[in-house]
Chain A
Amino acid sequence: MDTRELICIGCPMGCRMTVNMDKGQVHSVSGNTCKRGDAYARKEVTNPTRIVTSTVRVEGGVLPVVSVKTREDIPKGKIFACMEALAKVTVQAPVAIGDVVLPDAAGTGVDVVATKNVVEA
């Protein structure tokens, strides 16, 4: 049996939780004071995901870079692969919020989209 220590991010209480794992399955969650903590802990230890935000280069725009995000959360383990893929991307101005700058980032099936409008210089 493995144990994982977590701090809940559900509310400002920040409960310190202990998750007991058995062969990759959640056996029990303790230390939480509400159901949301239990749910967060179970997801966090089995399939933690995050939205990734970054920037990519822009050519011919008023700014040299445009901010982007993964449209949905992606597995935590794919964050750096996603960043590496984004490092190779350059887009042409104008860019509009929601434009796909990188489809299917790092094989996650999730597109990376622009989060800012950058007009032509």
Chain B
Amino acid sequence: MKRYDIVIIGGGPAGLAAALAAREQGIHEVLILERDRELGGILNQCIHNGFGLHTFQEELTGPEYAARFIQRVKDARIEYQLSTMVLNISPEKIVTAMNREEGLFEIEAGAVVLAMGCRERSRGALNIPGYRPAGIFSAGTAQRLVNMEGCLPGREVVILGSGDIGLIMARRMTLEGAKVKVVAELMPYSGGLKRNIVQCLDDYGIPLKLSHTVVDIQGRERVEGVTIAQVGADRRPIPGTEEHYTCDTLLLSCGLIPENELSRELGVMISPVTAGPVVNESLETSIPGVFACGNVLHVHDLVDFVSQEAASAGAAAAEYVKQRPGEDAEVTLPVKGKGGVRYTVPSMIRPGRMQEEQVIRFRVGDVYRNQYISLYVGDERLIHRKRPVMAPGEMEELKVTREQLSGCPEGTELLVVIEDK
């Protein structure tokens, strides 16, 4: 059996940044396993610009952002295997994978970094009535078809869900000559970034109908039309508000779900809120030596933050390999969100293991204007910052320093809350 110090599951932006960080920490035996035929993950189909403003201080397209990391990985002579599917990871960190050349094989890993990314919520998960004709695609599938396979999935389009991929595809399909009739969003606010609503919908006169959903899909062989209705505060359709749209295509952009089948089988503890692993300050899961980063941990808006997070996970995995820390009892401080804060990553911090500065990332559950974001450590309010606007579609973050947390007794709770004063 081959052995590597660190095996990274997934060669997208998270896996690439984790591998580079591990190498920078002096770990040589690093292997990336990628199921696609090339590295770069979902960035390869995200051909629009807006990537890298934080990382490279310039605005790149997805493939360009990926290419920079891929080049670094190649320059660092980090090993990777393409078209290789990981089937299982055991608690002893034996990774079982397969590909066309080697068939089924096992690799022993000193540490594992989970970087599998996420998947789109499918029609089956949305409970939309109607037939099951051709012409219903997730926005990301349509994106791959248009941007990588070179084919247009339809000419008259309705989009359900205003996630960023749906907004981006509204513009992309319009530019390729399709007519995008409407974007319907169940919630009273968009799940996408504001700049995407302006640049992708407003620029092309595509209407966004908030508090609306698809209540029927017509057509037996191919989509012939959809019916959209307004929803009430209970998110149920209001009778009498139905509107019909003829179309041949329905795109779904209704949320992303971390892809954690491998993690679940491995026995990693999963957060019911993020659907990603519960992690500590080192982005280490409930299984020692197994780390998680990027969209498999929690869904991000910006790839720049995925790269940052993944670099932390890669460095932590390197540290684990070098030191093999024992199971000694250490001061552990739980981190929790309350009052509109849906979750935090990490879920616990061990001050003895944290870096100089620790980022706590979180999302809010509603739109908040002119509110304060606060961090309480025990009874003490450590951070109190005014935020003009916070929305579910935009990830928030706070930073704490090791100094601020040193001396906290075991079990002291770190609480992230939204306050009106």
Residues of A in contact with B (beta carbons under 8 Å apart) = 7, 9, 12-14, 33, 50-55, 57, 62-65, 67-69, 76, 79-80, 83, 97, 115-117
For the complex formed, measure the closest distance between the CB of A58 and the CB atoms of chain B, giving whole angstroms. Answer: 8
Cross-chain contact B202 with A55 (CB below 8 angstroms): no
Q: Which residues from chain B contact A63 at a C-beta distance below 8 Å? A: 148, 150
18 A-B pairs whose Cβ atoms sit less than 8 Å apart in the complex: A9-B194, A9-B198, A12-B194, A12-B394, A13-B388, A14-B389, A53-B48, A55-B47, A65-B148, A65-B150, A67-B63, A67-B147, A68-B47, A69-B61, A115-B64, A116-B44, A116-B47, A116-B63
Judge if B146 is at the interface, Cβ distance under 8 Å. Answer: yes
By CB atoms of chain A within 10 A, which of B59, B63, B147, B176 has the most? B63
Question: Nearest CB to that of B45 among chain A residues?
Answer: A67
CA of A55 to CA of B146, assembled, Å: 8
Judge if B420 is at the interface, Cβ distance under 8 Å. Answer: no
Cross-chain contact B199 with A9 (CB below 8 angstroms): yes
Q: Which residues from chain A contact B203 at a C-beta distance below 8 Å? A: 50, 76
Cβ contacts B31-62/A at 8 Å (1 or 0 each): 00000010000001001110000000001110
- Give me the 10 closest cross-chain CB pairs, A-B, nearest first: A67-B47, A116-B63, A65-B150, A9-B195, A64-B150, A14-B194, A115-B61, A9-B198, A51-B49, A13-B389
Q: Which residues from chain B contact A116 at a C-beta distance below 8 Å? A: 44, 47, 63-64, 67
CA of A75 to CA of B300, assembled, Å: 31
Q: Which residues from chain B contact A14 at a C-beta distance below 8 Å? A: 194, 389
Q: Which residues from chain A contact B197 at a C-beta distance below 8 Å? A: 7
CA of A116 to CA of B68, assembled, Å: 11
Cross-chain contact A12 with B59 (CB below 8 angstroms): no
Question: Nearest CB to that of B390 among chain A residues?
Answer: A12
Q: Which residues from chain A contact B60 at a C-beta distance below 8 Å? A: 115
Cross-chain contact B199 with A115 (CB below 8 angstroms): no
For the complex formed, measure the closest distance between the CB of B393 and the CB atoms of chain A, giving whole angstroms. Answer: 9
Q: Which residues from chain B contact A50 at a C-beta distance below 8 Å? A: 199, 203
Cross-chain contact A57 with B67 (CB below 8 angstroms): no
CA of A64 to CA of B391, assembled, Å: 39
Question: Nearest CB to that of A117 among chain B residues?
Answer: B67
